[in-house]
């Protein structure tokens, strides 16, 4: 009488085993999907952190270099009519000045520096160009300048320049020193504003205040006059 009971019990145990195996398979699939999701999330977080770090490095670099803007005037013969005698010139998408590059760029000392939007393999790029200053060549040849990409996938870029007027107060304008007569007493704007948007998001609004350099004998002797700070 005990044999049938044993056979039934064995059959029921086999069904349970199959069900357990199926449950384990489902659990394994679920864990695999969860691990893939976690891995993809971690990769996205890592990319965002790397992008944030690169962005902060670029911002600090801009604060440093724009904080070293030189007030040295261009030679009169090299200054087109209607333009400021300063090397500092800016439009809505281009900014160039005479300043000091960090030594790790291999261009320590006074250099021509330009920020410009250029097409690249990953969309438009914010490119820094720099070329060693030569008093005998006051207008740089940008095609032969060294370059460094500060940001890729740029969708929008806008520079603006703050002008301080005794009567009108502070005003932002899209152009400085190009096709206009900037008063000689204010060869540099009081501040620069940079707004940049990429496919991954916006940069934080960047405003850098510039101090007007003092005109002294260092200009006439070829010495550098620097002024600038960040905020």
What is the residue range of 158's domain? 53-227
Give the Cα separation of 142 and 100 in Å (integer): 17
Whether residue 43 is contained in a domain is answered as no
Residue 34 within a domain: no
| Number of domains forming the structure of the chain | 1
**Residue 144 included in any domain:** yes
Is 136 inside any structural domain? yes
In the beta sheet, which residues pair with residue 158? 195
Half-sphere exposure of residue 164: CA atoms within 13 angstroms, side-chain side: 12
Per the domain annotation, does 75 fall within a domain? yes
Q: For tokens 């030189």, name the residue.
A: 70
The CA distance from 194 to 151, in Å, is 13
Task: Quick: pLDDT tens for 14-57.
Answer: 777 777 788 888 888 888 877 777 777 767 666 667 777 888 88
**Alpha-carbon distance 134 to 153, whole Å?**
34
Instruction: Summarize the confidence of residues 153-159 as an average pLDDT.
Output: 94
Give the CA distances from residue 78 to residues 51, 85, 112, 143, 208, in Å, rounded to whole numbers and listed in that order: 41, 9, 15, 19, 28
Residue 223 lies in a domain: yes
Q: Which residues of 156-192 are buried (b: 16+ CB within 10 A; e: fewer)?
A: ebebbbbbeeeeeeeeeeebbbeeeebeeeebbbbbb
Whether residue 130 contacts residue 114, with contact meaning beta carbons closer than 8 Å, is answered with yes
Predicted confidence (pLDDT) per residue in 169-187, tens digit = 678 999 888 765 555 445 7
Residue 127 lies in a domain: yes
Q: What is the pTM of this model?
A: 0.68
């Amino acid at each position: 009488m005990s044999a049938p009971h044993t056979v039934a019990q064995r059959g029921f145990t086999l069904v349970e085993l199959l069900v357990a195996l199926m449950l384990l398979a489902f659990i394994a699939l679920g864990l695999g999907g969860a691990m893939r999701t976690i891995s993809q999330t971690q990769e996205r977080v890592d990319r965002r952190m790397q992008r944030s770090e690169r962005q902060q490095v670029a911002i600090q670099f801009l604060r440093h270099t724009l904080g070293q803007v030189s007030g040295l005037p261009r030679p009169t013969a090299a200054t087109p009519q209607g333009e400021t005698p300063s090397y500092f010139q800016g439009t809505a998408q281009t900014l160039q000045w005479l300043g000091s590059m960090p030594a790790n760029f291999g261009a320590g000392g006074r250099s021509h520096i330009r920020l410009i939007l250029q097409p690249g393999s990953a969309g438009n790029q914010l490119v820094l160009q720099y070329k060693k200053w030569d008093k005998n060549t006051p207008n740089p040849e940008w095609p032969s300048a060294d370059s460094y990409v500060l940001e890729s996938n740029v969708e929008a870029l806008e520079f603006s320049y703050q002008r301080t007027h005794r009567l009108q107060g502070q005003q932002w304008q899209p152009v400085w020193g190009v096709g206009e007569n900037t008063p000689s007493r204010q060869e540099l704007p009081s501040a620069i504003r940079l707004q940049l948007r990429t496919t991954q998001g916006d940069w934080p609004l960047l405003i850098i205040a510039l101090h007007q350099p003092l005109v002294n004998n260092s200009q006439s002797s070829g010495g550098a006059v620097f002024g600038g700070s960040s905020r």
